[in-house]
Amino acid sequence: MEIELVEQKAQPILSIRTRTSFSKLPDVIGSSHHEIASYLEELGEKAADVPFTAYYNLDMHDMDVEMGFPVSRPLAGKGDVKAGETLPGKAILYMHKGPYSDMQPVYEEMFKWIAEKGYQPKGVYYEYYYNSPNEVPYSELLTRIVIPLQ
C-alpha cells in the first residue's frame, strides 16, 4: 500500500454540505454533484478536477458530508451551492482501485500510518471519484482518498 505524504494548497471549490444517513448517501451524492454541475454549466465554467465528497464525521445515521467540485478560480455560490476551498497543508493520500465497500481497510491502514508517524488528522476526509459504477465495473473504480493533517 503506497500512502503518499503531500503538501496541498487551498483549492477553490463549489459544494453542497448536508447531513444524511449512510443508506441515502449515494442519492445525496448523485443529486448534489448534478446540481453543482448544472450550476457550473449555467456559469459557463468547467470543473478543475473530478468530483469529491468530504466526510466530517462517520456517524452512519447522521453523516455530515460535503459534495463538490474543485474549480480553477473562486466562483460565487447560489442557493445550496456554496463557494469555499479545500484545506491547505500536509495531507496523506492513497489511490484506491476497487469497490467503495473495500475502502474500510484502506482507511484503517491510513490512520495507522498517521499514528505511527506522529501526525493528527484534521477531522475531514476527502474522496475524489475518477469514475463511477455507471461507467465501469466495481473492480475498476478509482477513488483518491485524502486525509488532511494537523
Q: Is the pLDDT of residue 125 over 90?
A: yes
Instruction: State the Cα–Cα distance between residues 100 and 133, nearest whole angstrom.
Output: 10
Q: 57-105: per-residue pLDDT in tens?
A: 989 899 999 999 999 999 999 999 999 999 999 999 999 999 999 999 9
Q: Are 124 and 87 in contact (CB under 8 A)?
A: yes
Domain that holds residue 135: 4-148
Average pLDDT value for residue range 17-34: 95
Q: How confident is the model at residue 142 (pLDDT cuts 50, 70, 90)?
A: very high
pLDDT of res. 111: 96
* Number of domains composing the chain: 1
CATH number, domain with residue 23: 3.20.80.10
Q: How confident is the model at residue 116 (pLDDT cuts 50, 70, 90)?
A: very high
Q: Are 129 and 143 in contact (CB under 8 A)?
A: yes
Average pLDDT value for residue range 31-58: 96
Instruction: State the Cα–Cα distance between residues 88 and 1, nearest whole angstrom.
Output: 24
pLDDT of res. 58: 84
Paired strand residues for 121: 149
